[in-house]
Structure 1
Amino acid sequence: MAEGLQALVRHPEFKRGAKDMLGITLGISAWGLVTGVAMVKSGLGVGLSLLMSFVVFAGSSQLASLPLIASGAPLWVLWATAFCVNLRFVIFSAQWRLYFAPLPRVQRLVLGYFAADLNYVAFLKRFPDLKPDPEQQLPYFWGGVAINWFAWQIPAVIGIVLADRIPTNWGLGFAGVLALLGLSYSLLKDRNSWVSAGVASCAAVAAYALPLRLNILVAIAAAVAVGLMMERWLPPAGSGGAGSGGRSA
């Protein structure tokens, strides 16, 4: 097992995955710090906050659930909110299935725990062809996870332990949003992706008043629908061939 771990860490794709995530760790860390502070100040206490951080590992659903926990909302409302906020991972996992479907189910479940927004975007940027190649893709995935998981958990634990000394008005959580925006911008390479992103932004704002953060789901659905329609009726230049990248995407 130790030899296999050493081989994984020495793999060029592992190093590349780690390097690709390093540039956005500041935003991830700031977001994790704020989430750690928010958990304790919502009344969870240090023990439950640590448990939630390691078990849930989903910043958006954690932050969405905390006000409900503090207000004593029914458990079903709490679960429904977290479920709706995390529905985007259904889309992420459906995309990742194209790469990891041949792997054993237990291994895929482990990959699912470590899946996150930023390493999803980095992974698709590195492997845009939707073709399975576990020998290259798994090391890259774990390289990104090695940075992303620790960049989140270490500041989150610091925030939990030092919650009483860190003011909540620092606004560090916005750094995480900036990291997402910066990485997303790098993927907008053609007209279709720009239009889909614009539609998603407008849909998210228009549906902001929906409960349980359903505006996120509305934005994703709108972007996917518009992207599929444009790919069918207004394909990008050079995507007409049967073997082109635009067709496979």
Structure 2
Amino acid sequence: MMHSPEMFPVPLLHLEQTDSTNHYLKTICDKSSVTELTTVVADYQTSGRGQRGNSWESEAGKNLMFSFVLYPTFLEARRQFLLSQLISLTIKEELDRYAEGFSIKWPNDIYWHEQKIAGILIEHDLTGCCLGRSIAGIGLNVNQTVFHSTAPNPVSLYQITRQEHNCLALLSTIMKRIQTEYLSVQNGEEANIADRYRTSLFRGKGMHRYEDLHGEFMAEIIHIEPEGILVLQDDKGQRRRYAFKEVKYQLL
């Protein structure tokens, strides 16, 4: 384990290998007091997790797999989606510096056109009616050139830009953005996050194919409610509301 470079914007623990950066960070948080925004990054994860229980493929030393801790005690639990918006926007807007075509696939996957470049998993602990601790884990494909898993649509920043990128330098700029955005939310300056998120959505305009328990249908995104509920309007004019995992995009 290596501690952070002196110039890194937040406390950093750099691991050669771990099962999961989320699990590693949770373990040390449970045992001792850990400074907010402390970040754990690993060159390789043996059991990285994504949303819906999926695994995250990552070639050793090629990508960013990291987690960081927040103590958002100022946020009611019902407003936890605000953190998901903040973090996904931070990743998406950092990637915008390198190319066009990035978007956020509700609730918080990051896509480049029709291909997935990053996934985010946030785990919350409650203190009463508020969030006590949140650990966010991010997998971001940076320099990997070949993917072997059954995932249908992975892509890396290298494949997009045809250039290799310094993973720790990229992590540094991401964490600076997160630090700034999080401080703004702490200070009550969150008015534009929902608007930025809405305009950054994958397939945010027009009719697209979805699937729920009743089958496939065509619909367009109408609204994202503050609690994270996705509101669609189908091609028959009917509005449909979905919580996470209740509806799937049909990908190309």
User: TM-score with structure 2 length normalisation?
Assistant: 0.32
Higher gyration radius (CA): 1
The structure showing larger relative contact order (alpha-carbon pairs under 8 Å, at least 6 residues apart) is: 1
